[in-house]
Structure 1
């Protein structure tokens, strides 16, 4: 078969892989969000509800490097099938527990943890298969593909809350679980029909321990300063988004109502979808690292705009453009790692990047409230010369402490982007 025919076949396969992943990712978010709503209504406990998110993130943080090491030794198609097969089996077990009225929180949290583990395996395989299916088509096409990957997540995050809120009121939880099983099964069938020729995996001794494989990836990241700094960029961006997500709702509700909050969140979600679609069509700048550094600077600018005053207009503008820029940063950054990392290390390096990035989220959720309540509030209550000057500069109000944190984070993000602009390690990335 000619190379052009192979390239075309891989391009078509990517479309099917994209659809299969859309179904799978959407289904996982859908069932987890529906379970969260059910828990909130059934138990009237905020802690029980928030634990859903803890058991969603924790397995990804703990298992990403391990599963990335496993994927580097596996056939990509086989890894996908194991992941989705595991999701089907786990969902089937959940349905059985419901049939026997064993719908306690313990079983639900176990289900969510196992689903998160298989999703992490699927994500690792998906990130590795992107450069494989688009081999020989250039980094621009790989960046477009990563934009498409971001659009899968963005569309899911935008549509799932709306669809779940509607269906939970009209259908039983059992019906929603069966619906999820059907979507997972369609995804599995699509993957099973694909013909994907994996690269011959060389220079990997399958008898080496997983920890040695992970250590090899860490050594590569430590040695390659450009990749190292890029991963730090990702981690900081996740940290920033974690604080914004944690404080956005109390910020808006401090001066307006839930309807306005829903409007701002919808506008922000729309920005993420449009940003993902934009990257999938544009493919990023010729020098891909500029697609990471320049949007980071604008991320800081729009964060400052959102904290200037208690204004729904400014907050909506800030949310829309911030969430539009995030897919650009991730799409360009991921394509850089994929094309500058040996193929035998891609799964592990990207999984370590994912682990560090996601780890920043719970840290951000934890310290954001501590900073506002135990650092900024006492500072502004002291009425010192500096606190009065800052209060006068950004205006008083119930959200003064949150807005001050937004502005400080905005300037820190701008400084990070400028440092990246002048960093020789980043500027020389191809």
Structure 2
């Protein structure tokens, strides 16, 4: 560990004023374009094929590359100039979108090509996310980071609210070709912003440009040694793995659950209000810097999410659902911005690419399993419990709505159980007994 740059060394770098905000804005720009494209492609796939199986397959194709490439991405982000990594990501994304636009214009767009597009974009995200996260550390002071992370959550909430509306308008008036062109323009804008930025000089790892530096496996082992030597961070990571099980199941169930008893218009309002909650909470977090002890923010965010999921499974009245959906949205910045700030402060910048990539891969490792498990949980466990005459039917109702509602509540209760067990076994604290933040 002696050759690594320490966190205190990193904070002595002089970050360019406002550079981290420009980077966050650039990332949000491409996120908006990608979200709009995702909406348009989903509509196009459904209209062209009508196949739910194909829809689900493409969702898996979109998720897996990002998880599988995470270790490689972490090594690359730590070995090479992160600005160049980001430029390469934007360039690859722009080329892929240009090919997609060409295919759409020549009536050559197909489901396999859409699958390739999402696989490439997922791969690009595997590299760009740790590069952005690690760059924020050196582009902002420790005091600025909570506000920058809060702003990032605000912008992502704006993307969540705005992308379906913008995607629907663009798809109706200019079609899939126009949407691909819009996304291509967003990547070009982000490419220009990053090319204009200056990053503080960082000490790169030996062998970054070739030669006799450490091997790929050595780089990964170094990151794992750091992570395994920090039981407090491992504890936080396990916390997120378990909480994400509930969140992943709920994400799959949310739309079918609402549509089982309400209209698509109600679902649209709920999704928009969830995004609005994220915008408001993110703006407050950015303005105040969030809780002083970041582990409190993590626990509070998970608590809000758990209570909201449990309540949403019980409710049917639209206005009550609207209020809880907004509350659910407010949990996102508390959970994510607090966690991100904590990791940025705890991991040496020279290791952040690898550690952050490992962290993301492990934190979401159970997501595919959770999504698959949600089906038997609802059909084989929850459905029998809400049959007519059963006590649970009085609370959650019967039929599909009752089974999915009970499952949603169980997702929330799982999060609450994880919080309770974490607190009962020492909480999210360092080995020395002080808060992680």
TM-score w.r.t. the length of structure 1 is: 0.89
Distance 1:6 1:332 in 2: 23
What is the CA distance between 1:380 and its match in structure 2? 4.4
Give CA deviations for 1:221-274 in whole Å, capped at 9, x if unaligned: 222111111112222333222222222222222222222222222211211222
Distance 1:94 1:215 in 2: 38
Query: Structure 1 residue aligned with 2:56, among 45, 50, 53?
Result: 50
Query: Structure 1 residue aligned with 2:340, among 334, 348, 363?
Result: 334
Query: Structure 2 residue aligned with 1:411, among 397, 410, 413?
Result: 413
What is the CA distance between 1:330 and its match in structure 2? 0.9
Query: Structure 1 residue aligned with 2:113, among 95, 107, 110?
Result: 107
What is the CA distance between 1:184 and its match in structure 2? 1.3
Aligned to 1:402: 404
Note the 1:11-410 alignment, pairs <5 A.
11-134=17-140, 137-138=141-142, 140-202=143-205, 207-381=213-387, 388-392=390-394, 396=398, 398-410=400-412
Distance 2:105 2:120 in 1: 20
Change (3 A) 1:141 1:423: farther
Give CA deviations for 1:399-420 in whole Å, capped at 9, x if unaligned: 2222323333333322322333
Change (3 A) 1:94 1:393: closer
Distance 1:259 1:305 in 2: 20
Distance 2:425 2:12 in 1: 41
Change (3 A) 1:401 1:249: same
Change (3 A) 1:392 1:98: closer
Distance 2:84 2:45 in 1: 35
Change (3 A) 1:102 1:123: same
Distance 2:20 2:396 in 1: 49
Give CA deviations for 1:186-218 in whole Å, capped at 9, x if unaligned: 211111111112321357776333233223323
Distance 1:321 1:204 in 2: 48
Distance 1:343 1:419 in 2: 31
Distance 1:395 1:381 in 2: 8
Give CA deviations for 1:365-410 in whole Å, capped at 9, x if unaligned: 2111210101222344497xxxx34344555565222232333333
What is the CA distance between 1:280 and its match in structure 2? 1.6
Give CA deviations for 1:111-134 in whole Å, capped at 9, x if unaligned: 221122112211111000011011
What is the CA distance between 1:332 and its match in structure 2? 0.6
Change (3 A) 1:169 1:288: same
Change (3 A) 1:317 1:99: closer
What is the CA distance between 1:24 and its match in structure 2? 1.5
TM-score w.r.t. the length of structure 2 is: 0.88
Runs of 4+ in 1 over 6 A off after TM superposition: 3-6, 203-206
Change (3 A) 1:327 1:100: same
Distance 2:234 2:269 in 1: 38
Q: Where in structure 1 are there 5+ consecutive unaligned residues?
A: none
Aligned residues of 1:204 and 1:344 also touching (Cα < 8 A): no
Q: What secondary structure, in the 3-state scheme, does the structure 2 residue paired with 1:172 have?
A: helix
> Which is further off, 87-96 or 282-291?
87-96
Q: Where in structure 2 are there 5+ consecutive unaligned residues?
A: 1-9
Change (3 A) 1:39 1:390: closer
Change (3 A) 1:370 1:358: same
Change (3 A) 1:21 1:309: closer
Distance 1:397 1:371 in 2: 14
Aligned residues of 2:313 and 2:405 also touching (Cα < 8 A): yes
Change (3 A) 1:246 1:353: same
Distance 1:217 1:372 in 2: 39
